[in-house]
Amino acid sequence: MKPLISNQHFLSSTESGSSWAVAKRWFSDCATEHLLCAQKRNEFLPTRLIDISTHTDILPRLLETSEIVSGIKYATLSHCWGKHMPKRLQQDNLLSLKTKIVFSELSKTFQDAMKITKYLGLRYIWIDSLCIIQDSKEDWQREASLMSKVYTNSACNISATGASDGSIGLFFDRNPLAIQPFRARFLGNQVKGSFYLVNPSLWADEVDYSPLNRRAWVVQERLLSPCNLHFGSTQVYWECRQRLACEAYPVALPSAFELLDCYRLDPDGGGARIRESHGLHPDSSLDNYTLWGYIVATYTKGELSFESDKLVAIAGIAEQMHKVLGDQYLAGLWRNHLADQLLWVAEYGRERTRKSKSKRSHEYLAPTWSWASIDGEISRLGYISYTDDRGIMIDILTVRVDLATANPFGQITGAFLQVRGKLAKAVMYVSTEPGGVWSLGVHCNRLTDTGMFS
């Protein structure tokens, strides 16, 4: 433990020189020493960026990136919109924001994010509501299709992790003693000696289940970014492909910490541990299908302000997974092993999430055979047992998805699936108890071979 622990003196706010200094050190180490983090970036630039200027004061303005040379670095921002959004990009203020954005008119979160961007040595930042025209459907659809590239190629994703809306900002007051690593001396017969006491749920409470990470959109933003600088309610946290850290443990988190595996696994072959933990057949060709199912399970725990974003808000990850799988994407599922993936389960709300019982969405988002048609938590999507689909009793005859735009990973307008399988009589047993569940009994000795259903 001792090599992991900070020797710094903690101050009473995360808006302090010591907090910012450790954040800048993490960013610098990641940019110069982490090969896994650096290899994901290329020369892509978003359509628009916020130029915060090189002056001592922050003098932001909206910039069309076609006006600048390639190769620049930019930050991105993940934040909860909430009800506090005093300034956003619209068609009638596009020209004025390209001349000047009044700093004092921005939300506190945006102001704080620009301060951190400048402190990290960056000049540009991408913020969704200031870089996408909010009252233009065409601009939103085009920019949403680029979301994967925007976050994948950012220098750092700044996360307003502890804030529920833009009025709160990035920084929080805190009790320094509450985060100082605590060493206790034990004098008992069974346990004797000096030990550091660790709160194993610190990361889970402050990051994984924070107000920000209840947003479904953030799953994509967090996974695609090469590194995330989380501003939590008590500490600043760092997350990249080679390091997880916080102010109390700036070198690395202790191994005892509870973590959501979804954010620790890279879509280049990281699903093996999940398959093993669930007793699934060890097969490297299935690892990334399992990983996709785990990502979807995490994603569906989050909240969406607009139901229509269901497929769009995960399209960036789907695009990256497509590059790895080389498989056809079908409204949240994949063509290979499709019969297995149809066996997803709609769950009741889980601990630490605000989700209640799953329900069908009010508007058409996806066919009923896709998890994307459900507002609620999904599980067992990627639990494929064998590559030869042993035990599957249906054949996929026809499958089609009608796209709303040219983006194969975005919204759809319709879909059709036809399968062939054996039919059996079934009896439904419905509980009479309040909140009771129903079950289905199948007479397996009456299977017929000629049935076809769609």
Model confidence pLDDT, tens digit, residues 204-261: 999 999 999 999 999 999 999 999 999 999 999 999 988 999 999 999 888 888 777 6
CA dihedral 13, 151, 256, 199 (to 10 degrees): 20
Q: Which of these, 119, 113, 125, lies nearest to 65 by C-alpha position? A: 125
pLDDT at 390 over 80: no
**Position 276 in a domain:** yes
Query: Which of 228, 259, 290 lies at the terminal end of a domain, its last residue?
Result: 259
pLDDT tens string 90-135 = 999 999 999 999 999 999 999 999 999 999 999 999 999 999 999 9
**Position 450 in a domain:** no
Beta-strand pair 333-334/329-330: antiparallel
pLDDT tens string 319-356 = 989 998 999 999 999 999 899 899 898 876 555 555 55
User: Domain tally for the chain?
Assistant: 2
Q: Which of these, 206, 212, 211, lies nearest to 77 by C-alpha position? A: 212
Q: What is the pLDDT of residue 268?
A: 47
**Position 265 in a domain:** no
Residue 38: pLDDT band (50, 70, 90) is confident
Query: Which of 210, 227, 259 lies at the terminal end of a domain, its last residue?
Result: 259
User: In terms of C-beta density within 10 A (0-12 exposed, 13-18 middle, 19 or more buried), how is residue 420 classed?
Assistant: middle
Q: Which of these, 139, 333, 317, 134, lies nearest to 225 by C-alpha position? A: 317
**Position 165 in a domain:** yes
Same domain as 216, residue 341:
no
* Alpha helices in 145-280, H assignment, sequence order: 147-152, 176-179, 202-203, 216-224, 272-277
Domain extent for 182: 2-259
- The predicted model scores a pTM of 0.85
- Residue 126 has phi, psi (to 5 degrees) of -105, 125
Same domain as 214, residue 347:
no
CA atoms of 418 and 407, how far apart (whole Å) = 24
CA atoms of 339 and 399, how far apart (whole Å) = 11
If you average pLDDT over residues 24-45, what whole number do you get? 84
Same domain as 332, residue 199:
no
Sign of CA dihedral 36, 229, 114, 86: positive
Sign of CA dihedral 188, 190, 193, 194: negative
Same domain as 235, residue 293:
no
Residue 394 pairs with which residues in a beta bridge? 421
User: In terms of C-beta density within 10 A (0-12 exposed, 13-18 middle, 19 or more buried), how is residue 338 classed?
Assistant: buried
User: In terms of C-beta density within 10 A (0-12 exposed, 13-18 middle, 19 or more buried), how is residue 279 classed?
Assistant: exposed
Query: Which of 192, 226, 259 lies at the terminal end of a domain, its last residue?
Result: 259
**Position 418 in a domain:** no
**Position 130 in a domain:** yes
DSSP result, 38-58: HTT--S---SEEEE--SSSS-
Please say whether the beta carbons of 46 and 146 come within 8 A. yes
If you average pLDDT over residues 33-39, what whole number do you get? 79
For 119, the token pair is: 């402190």
Q: What is the pLDDT of residue 450?
A: 45
**Position 267 in a domain:** no
Same domain as 97, residue 245:
yes
CA atoms of 169 and 198, how far apart (whole Å) = 28
Contacts of 93 (CB under 8 A, 6+ apart): none
Same domain as 85, residue 13:
yes
Residue 282: pLDDT band (50, 70, 90) is low
Distances in whole angstroms, Cα of residue 375 to Cα of each of 173, 363, 419: 36, 11, 25
Same domain as 292, residue 153:
no
pLDDT at 63 over 90: yes
Instruction: Please provide the distance, in angstroms rounded to a whole number, between the alpha carbons at the two ends of the chain.
Output: 58
Which residue is it, tokens 């506090």? 84
CA atoms of 360 and 381, how far apart (whole Å) = 17
Q: What is the pLDDT of residue 408?
A: 93
Same domain as 345, residue 308:
yes
Same domain as 253, residue 278:
no
Same domain as 296, residue 179:
no
**Element holding 289 (H helix, E strand):** helix 287-299
Q: Is 64 helix (H, G, I), strand (E, B) or coil?
A: strand
274 CB neighbour count, 10 Å cutoff = 19
CA atoms of 377 and 381, how far apart (whole Å) = 11
Same domain as 168, residue 297:
no
Helices (H) and strands (E) in the chain, counts: 14, 21
**Position 352 in a domain:** yes
Same domain as 137, residue 279:
no
CA atoms of 18 and 253, how far apart (whole Å) = 19
For 85, the token pair is: 């959004």
